[in-house]
Amino acid sequence: MNSIVISGHNGFIGSSLTSRLKKFNIIGISDKKRKKEKNVTSIVKNVNKVNNTDVKHSFQTLIHLAAVSDISFCNANPKTCYEVNVNGTNKMLEIARKNDANIIFASSSHVYGNPIKLPIKENFPLSATNPYGRSKLIIENFLQDVFISDDSWHIALLRYFNPVGAHKSGLIGEDPNGVPNNLMPYISQVATGKLEKLSVFGGDYNTPDGTGVRDYIHVVDLAKGHVKALQVLENRPQILTVNLGTGKGYSVLDMIKTFKKISGMNVPYEIVGRRPGDIASCYMDSSTAEKLLGWKAELGIDEMCKDMWRWQLSNPNGYF
């Protein structure tokens, strides 16, 4: 059986992805600081855990998800952001090299900075509006250089848009530490009454209703995109760069409205000032993913909200 190392296997995306890769032997690299890890792995069972980078088994693919992805935290702590994201990738690359492994790297739509136009294509100019995006961009450039120096590597740079949703079972979902930073987990906790109201960051953007527009993608679709990328990487040495989103943009107010409709709950909100480093609109062109991976997102915002709500109701305190 092929073995795959997944760094960050116990996070939101890692746990969904691991649960889809049942026919592989998964070696999960854990974040020891993440207290909820034990609870995640009691549900997603097909994992051999290792601490840090202590991988003893040989493996064929590395899926490198582990990162600091909280944008506000990265703004306030750039050193930690670069240390974990950039140095962490360097360490993982060493392990991949020893094993001659293929690499899938979790990149982000943030590498487009403020995009020149919409929808965003993979060949658009790259830049960043915050340290988080810059760390992902540095890693992409680093991996490009690694491929230039040795074109026998098989590398995929998957640029995630905004992953949301949860597993249909209601057993696997997003469980942020403390108060959520991202929109959808915040909305779900307002809907249950755990949080009082949502602050909508900016009502004066140049968008149809003035609030920020994003390309939300169901985490199950995102996981399926990785499975396709695994297959395509096998074919030949390459560096593959693909956007993973739905190709549709929704505003903050669209997401509140849909969540209210699905949950039947009230979601009080207040429009406040813009969040530093945020952009007005971000959604992708899906043609490259269709052409190169034969993949297209299937689930819409109703399913994303429905699955998040099921997860939220079944796990009011997350994995605890």
Q: Which residues bind ligand UFG (CB under 6 A)?
A: 69, 71, 108-110, 160-162, 181-183, 186, 198-201, 212, 214, 252, 275, 278
Are the C-beta atoms of 26 and 48 separated by less than 8 Å?
Answer: yes
Please identify, using beta-carbon distances, which residue of 16 and 60 lies nearer to ligand UFG: 16
Active site residue 216: no
Which candidate, 242, 238, 243, 64, places its Cα nearest to that of 147? 238
Query: Rounded distance, CA 291 to CA 303, Å?
Result: 25
Query: Rounded distance, CA 190 to CA 30, Å?
Result: 30
Smallest gap, in angstroms, from Cβ of residue 210 to ligand UFG? 11
Smallest gap, in angstroms, from Cβ of residue 243 to ligand UFG? 10
Please identify, using beta-carbon distances, which residue of 227 and 271 lies nearer to ligand UFG: 271
Please identify, using beta-carbon distances, which residue of 108 and 315 lies nearer to ligand UFG: 108
Please identify, using beta-carbon distances, which residue of 237 and 273 lies nearer to ligand UFG: 273
Amino acid at the residue 270: E
Smallest gap, in angstroms, from Cβ of residue 71 to ligand UFG? 5
Please identify, using beta-carbon distances, which residue of 55 and 284 lies nearer to ligand UFG: 284
Smallest gap, in angstroms, from Cβ of residue 115 to ligand UFG? 12
Query: Rounded distance, CA 220 to CA 82, Å?
Result: 28
The residue from 82, 112, 132, 160 that is catalytic is 132
Are the C-beta atoms of 110 and 136 separated by less than 8 Å?
Answer: yes
Cis peptide before 276 (omega within 30 of 0): no
For the chain, the residue count is 320
Rg of the chain over all Cα atoms, to the nearest angstrom: 19
Please identify, using beta-carbon distances, which residue of 60 and 241 lies nearer to ligand UFG: 241
* First-last CA distance in the chain: 33
Q: Give the three-state DSSP class for 257.
A: helix
Q: Is the dihedral of CA 151, 153, 154, 156 positive or negative?
A: negative
Smallest gap, in angstroms, from Cβ of residue 181 to ligand UFG? 6
Amino acid at the residue 31: D
Are the C-beta atoms of 247 and 109 separated by less than 8 Å?
Answer: no
Query: Rounded distance, CA 186 to CA 193, Å?
Result: 11
Tell me the residue number closest to ligand UFG, measured at CB.
Answer: 212
CA-angle at 240, arms to 237 and 244, nearest 5°: 150
Query: Rounded distance, CA 135 to CA 223, Å?
Result: 23
Both tokens of 128, joined, read: 């960043």
Smallest gap, in angstroms, from Cβ of residue 164 to ligand UFG? 8
Residue numbers annotated as active site: 132
